[in-house]
A and B are shown apart, each in its own frame.
Chain A
């Protein structure tokens, strides 16, 4: 059969049902084979959004997201999404067309060295040089994308090769990758030492990241937390891995985390990092980060351990396998739970003194924090929420208490504006029966608003709740606080008229600019069939607090 047909056989064998993409010259043979193949193809309006949709698909469902693009500009348009998936460890496979093999290296029409361009931001990549490699590379790509620490894998296929005839035999053997053997079990000796350290800690904190979500280990995390009254905090990427309403929940940590979580890290004597990577948005000033603590670091990626913060007890393994062992070893030690009483009194003190708070308006002005709280009420806290990047993202992280994993889809590592809408498209495709809501920023949404067309064409009933503050709020906040109020290039107005724009794409558009109308408008938006944009006019100059200024320490939190 044609190599392109074998490509789809391999994709089918991997369980793929949905593909996000855009065709072009170099991947025409692939689209020609797709004509006969049984897949749902979601034709996005920009390749970057094919990538983010594949990410949203993967983050919501745990399955590998797949995106197609043609050579040259198609492939370079994917790069932002590939980098995003790399930073946030999202299992994705990107399949690009490449120019004909005889044109490679000649600066041929629409030629771009996409394996070269993406090398720093992929988990791995394959450039096909022989058409018979295609099925094998696809299986390897999926294996690498979803095992170990997940990530993006690129397969670049020259146009002439995908047209060729090959002998296709289904591959059932496990892919042969001698240089790729993730260690998942965790060294039991190290786990025992960690259990002892926990048993002797008087001020412990469990610090969980996106790795817990990726490993589907929230249950296991809850078990460990419940083995004693261990306080738990999560990163932006880990939200939902531990239920926010839980009494042991300290709130998110880091730059816009709660004072309670950050102060607890600051005073902890033992921090157990679980599937987290000590990003600078977490640590702030490294030399003053958690100065009293020893660190247990559990991660599937050995290179994350002691990269930023040296670990005292490193444990390489899948947190889903390591956590139950740690819980078991800890329980066997039967430590005295009362040793944590004093620590909890300290934590309760912070909680009382520093709850998240904002000043609500006395008139009809809608405060952005209120908008998030209202959104929580309207969705019953049960929606899959995607977001863009900016203040609205941080307010969502603070004021929308996530109780389950895979419900909070955002761009944490790369901080990619415009992630929300395409991710919502991907999530809705993966989970057709779930309510998918995108909390968008006005600056972000306009970067990807062509995707309104995709949602309309595919009849995806996503709801976009636009937090419209008329500016690049997060940038405005930094200019206000750290750049002497020298405001530059932050205004978004006066266009567009979002309701009209939504309607132009066949969406329902609703405007809300009064506090009294907000709950009703959200209810209407959620109950209206098909895609809906709700343009909520919020206070334009609100700041997101509390905050650790970049490069400062937890003790220097402001606001």
Chain B
């Protein structure tokens, strides 16, 4: 008996608990069945568990029976593990990916309507060029710009134009897809 345990040593003090907060923003990509009520189930789950959705985008995929829901959640506030495990319990949710920023391509689109009087019109057009954005509508007093890119790029465009008078802004929330692996 003296030997028993020695080959099986496992100090309980060495065990670490799982889970907890990651401290960063997570982009979750969900494949869900394309049926009525699925979005309500997802939204209801978030609200009753006290999770916050920061952005949400829903659209079709290459398969007409399946939709993609892309949402961002703050991992500094919510345990992402719990969020994904709860989402998995929804019968209509087929697959969940916690998109790794290193291996995913994520993009968002935004529309900005900006005050554009004669004195600042040129500056706004310049921003539009720098950000490789597009002017999609113009009037005597305003310019509407479409920006596509990473969330950070859209954030910084917003910071640039805000002092000029941002009349209206609409953002789609991110959508994402994994990068193809480099051919070996």
Interface residues of A, Cβ cutoff 8 Å to B:
115-116, 119-120, 123-124, 127, 129, 144, 177-180, 193, 196-197, 199-201, 269-270, 294-295, 301-303, 305-307, 310-314, 333-336
Contacts and interface: CB of A to CB of B under 8 A. Distances in A.
B5 interface: yes
Contact of B94 (A144, A178, A193, A295): A178
B9 interface: yes
B133 to A, nearest CB: 38
B18 A200 contact: no
B146 interface: no
A335 to B, nearest CB: 6
Contact of A312 (B16, B90, B95): B16
A144 B11 CA distance: 40
Given A178-B33, A302-B85, A312-B17, 16 more contacts: A120-B44, A120-B48, A123-B91, A127-B36, A179-B91, A179-B93, A180-B91, A200-B10, A294-B12, A306-B82, A310-B17, A311-B19, A312-B16, A313-B15, A314-B18, A334-B4
Say what secondary structure dominates the interface of chain B: loop
Interface in B89-136: 89-95
B5 A311 contact: no
24 contacts: A119-B44, A177-B91, A178-B33, A180-B91, A199-B10, A200-B8, A200-B9, A200-B10, A269-B12, A270-B12, A294-B17, A301-B89, A302-B85, A302-B88, A306-B17, A306-B79, A311-B18, A311-B19, A312-B16, A312-B17, A333-B8, A334-B1, A336-B1, A336-B4
Nearest to B85: A303
The 9 closest A-B pairs by CB, nearest first: A310-B17, A303-B85, A312-B15, A196-B10, A306-B19, A179-B94, A124-B91, A294-B15, A180-B91
B82 A307 contact: yes
B41 interface: yes
Interface string B137-155: 0000000000000000000
A303 B32 CA distance: 19
Contacts of B91: 123-124, 144, 177, 179-180
A310 B89 contact: no
Given A115-B37, A127-B37, A310-B18, A200 B11 contact: yes
B94 A116 contact: no
A197 B41 contact: no
Contact of B5 (A144, A199, A301): A199
Contacts of A311: 17-19
Contacts of B90: 179
Interface residues of B, number: 35
A336 B10 contact: no
Contacts of A335: 4-5, 8
Given A269-B12, A333-B4, A119 B41 contact: yes
Contacts of A201: 12
A294 B14 CA distance: 10
B31 to A, nearest CB: 9
B17 A295 contact: yes
Nearest to B48: A120
Given A119-B44, A336-B5, A303 B89 contact: yes
Contacts of A178: 33, 94
A463 B15 CA distance: 51
B65 to A, nearest CB: 9
Interface string B16-27: 111110000000
Contacts of B8: 196, 199-200, 333, 335
Contacts of A180: 91
Contacts of A197: 10, 12, 15
A296 to B, nearest CB: 9
Contacts of A295: 17
Nearest to A270: B12
A269 B15 CA distance: 12
A18 to B, nearest CB: 26
B40 A119 contact: yes
B136 to A, nearest CB: 36
B34 to A, nearest CB: 12
Contacts of B11: 200
B86 interface: yes
Nearest to A307: B82
B119 to A, nearest CB: 52
B158 interface: no
Among A116, A307, A313, the most chain B Cβ lie within 10 Å of the Cβ of: A307
A334 B8 CA distance: 10
B74 interface: no
A493 to B, nearest CB: 39
A314 B18 CA distance: 8
Nearest to A339: B5
Contacts of B40: 116, 119
Nearest to B93: A179
Nearest to B12: A294
Contacts of A313: 15
B50 to A, nearest CB: 12
A336 B95 CA distance: 45
Given A177-B91, A200-B12, A335-B4, A303 B18 contact: no
Contacts of A179: 32-33, 90-95
A310 B19 contact: yes
Given A193-B10, A196-B8, A197-B12, A312 B85 contact: no
B48 A303 contact: no
A124 B93 CA distance: 12
Among A116, A124, A270, A303, the most chain B Cβ lie within 10 Å of the Cβ of: A303
B88 to A, nearest CB: 7
B99 to A, nearest CB: 19
Contacts of B5: 199-200, 333, 335-336
A498 B9 CA distance: 64
A177 B91 CA distance: 7
Contacts of A306: 17-19, 79, 81-82
